[in-house]
């Protein structure tokens, strides 16, 4: 049975947050790509981060943005300090206790694939946005190397398993059915950055709660098989990529 986002991150959220705290710049390219995808042009925008986890988005946002963290997993939400966040809300992603048209933008990074009823979430996002407001999503694409890593590697080494409801043409059609105009839908690749191979392995083990404790050689082989990585004298890069979508409420 597909486990809910809340079930997963009430158990895994604190460990995920530990990885983000220990290696805060590893996924910088990912957050930057999401914000560029959103292309927010409003001065001092109200932005909802859904799902927010422990709160990692604020330093990548335009100056003057008012950020609201929304997450349905209380342990995950409360694990972080949410720097620069104006408000924290623990609520289902499809039922956020805010007024209609409250936000200029909704940003969603790497959490949607754990949500079963994505249509209900898109309907709620449409309600929360002002006319002309923007949704920007970054998540794994169906059939991608990232999806294979998540289901095939994380699923193998995490005792909870991993089955994702990944993005593609289906989700684009869902957004359009709710009244959004989808202006961008494409897979973008970028690296996760580490100082060396051991840091890369430690980050993957911690972020993805690999409690089955794979050996270094075993985990490294699985990374090579799926997403791949490169090393130099100064750093190590894990290849990553997500499907990014920009949709406007018209």
Segment holding 203, helix H or strand E: helix 197-207
User: What domains appear along the chain, each with residue ranges and CATH number?
Assistant: 5-152+161-193+239-249 (3.40.50.150)
Q: Model pTM?
A: 0.96
C-alpha dihedral, 48 to 53 to 59 to 61, nearest 10°: -20
- Residue 12 and residue 75: Cα distance in Å, rounded? 9
Q: What separation in angstroms does the CA of 78 have from each of 12, 49, 90, 94? A: 13, 15, 9, 20
Per-residue pLDDT of the chain (250 residues; tens, 9 = 90+): 348 999 999 999 999 999 999 999 999 999 999 999 999 999 999 999 999 999 999 999 999 999 999 999 999 999 998 999 999 999 999 999 999 999 999 999 999 999 999 999 999 999 999 999 999 999 999 999 999 999 999 999 999 999 999 999 999 999 999 999 999 999 999 999 999 999 999 999 999 999 999 999 999 999 999 999 999 999 999 999 999 999 999 9
Query: In the prediction, which pLDDT does 3 show?
Result: 80
């Amino acid at each position: 049975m597909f486990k809910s986002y809340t079930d997963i991150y009430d158990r895994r959220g604190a460990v995920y947050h530990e990885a983000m705290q220990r290696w805060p710049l590893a996924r910088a390219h990912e957050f930057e790509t999401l914000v560029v995808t959103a292309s927010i042009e409003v001065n001092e925008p109200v932005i909802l981060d859904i799902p927010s986890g422990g709160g990692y988005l604020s330093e990548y946002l335009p100056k003057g943005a008012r950020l609201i963290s929304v997450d349905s997993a209380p342990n995950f939400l409360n694990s972080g300090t949410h720097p620069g966040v104006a408000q924290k809300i623990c609520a289902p992603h499809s039922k956020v206790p805010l007024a209609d048209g409250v936000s200029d933008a909704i940003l969603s990074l790497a959490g949607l694939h754990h949500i079963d009823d994505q249509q209900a979430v898109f309907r709620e996002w449409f309600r929360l946005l002002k006319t002309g407001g923007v949704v920007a999503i970054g998540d794994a694409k169906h059939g991608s190397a990232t999806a294979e890593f998540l289901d095939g590697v994380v699923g193998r080494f995490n005792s909870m398993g991993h089955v994702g409801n990944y993005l593609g043409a289906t989700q684009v059609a869902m957004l359009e059915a709710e009244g959004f105009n989808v202006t961008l839908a494409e897979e973008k690749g970028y690296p996760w950055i580490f100082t060396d191979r051991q840091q890369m392995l430690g980050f993957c083990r911690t972020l993805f709660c690999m409690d089955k404790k794979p050996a270094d050689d075993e985990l490294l082989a699985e990374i090579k098989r799926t997403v791949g990585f490169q090393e130099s004298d100064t750093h190590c890069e894990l290849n990553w990529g997500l499907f990014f979508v920009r949709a406007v409420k018209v």
